[in-house]
Amino acid sequence: MQRTTLNTMKKTVLITGTSSGIGRETAKLFQAKDWNVIATMRSPEQEKELTQLDNVLVTKLDVLDLDSIRDAVHSGIQEFGSIDVLVNNAGYGAYGPLESFSRDRILRQFNTNVIGLLDVTKAILPHFRQNRSGIIINISSVGGKITFPLGALYHGTKFAVEGISESLNYEVEQFGVQVKLVEPGMIATDFAGRSFDFSNDESMVEYQAIVGSLMTALPLMTQNASPASSVAEVIVEAATDGKNQLRYLAGEDARLLIANRQQVDDAQFIAGIKSQFGL
C-alpha cells in the first residue's frame, strides 16, 4: 500500500477496479482535477503508474473479499480524513450460451457485478450517513437497458444494478446521499480484453450459429467504441455537477441505442437486434 501526504482539504473518491480501463482512467482524471484518490484493485503490488501520482492511495480491494473491502474503506478514511464519492466500477462481462457456464462461473459473475457492488456500498454507507453527505456512482451499462444475444448473465447483472441504484436512492437521499448511474456503450478494448469472459461448448451444436453471429458482429460493434477516458469524464461530471440526476449516458453509441429503444416497441427492437446479428 502506497502512502501519501495527508490532504484533508481536497475531496476524496474511492474507486474499485482501477487496474485497467475505465477505473484507471477515472482515477487519473480525478487526480488531475486535484482530488484525493483511493485507487483500489485486487493486486496493488503490481501497480506501477498510479503509485507515482500525488494524493493517490493505491490499496487492495477485491469485491469478493469482505475483509479487503472493510480494510480499503478504513485505510482511505485514515489516510484522507473522509470519503466523499464512491465509484463502483469493478466488474466484467460473461457472454456465451447459458448451458455452457458452470454454476461457479454464474455465481462469480453475479458475485462480482452485483453482490460485490452491494458489499462495497454497505461498507461505506455508515460513513456517508454519519457525514450526511456522499455520492455513490454505480457503473452500469447500456446493457442494463437493452440486451444482446448470449449475454443473459452480464445483462442480468447490469439490469440488477439499475434497479438497485434507483431504489437505493430513495432510502439514502433522506440523509444527504445521492446514487447515480453511468451507462457506457461499447468501450474500446473492453470486449477484447480482461473484462470479457466468453464461454462456449462446441458439442452443443444448436448454439453454434448464434455464437458465430456474435463473434462476427463484435469487431463491427467495436469500431465506434468510446475510449475509457471519455467514460471517466462522465463519471467526474456526475460527481461534480451538483445535479439531482440519476442516469448519465456515456458514448454516442449509448445515446443512439437508448434513443432507438425508446421509440419502438419490444417486437420492433428485438427484430432490429436479430437483424444486426444476422439471426
For residues 249 and 241, what is the distance between their CA atoms, to the nearest angstrom? 15
Q: Pick from 131, 132, 137, 117: which is nearest to 173 by CA?
A: 132
β partners of residue 95: 198
Please give the DSSP secondary-structure letter assigned to residue 244: -
Task: Classify 32 as helix, strand or coil.
Answer: helix
Active-site amino acid positions: 140, 154, 158
- Cell, residue 151: 449475454
CA neighbours closer than 13 Å in the CB half-sphere of residue 221: 19
AA identity, residue 252:
E
Sign, CA torsion 131/132/133/135: positive
Enumerate helices (H) and strands (E) in the chain, giving the number of each. Answer: 9, 9
Is residue 114 a contact partner of residue 161, using CB atoms and an 8 Å limit?
A: yes
* Residues with Cβ within 8 Å of residue 219, at least 6 apart in sequence: none
* Residues with Cβ within 8 Å of residue 144, at least 6 apart in sequence: 155, 158, 159, 161, 162, 181, 183
AA identity, residue 123:
A
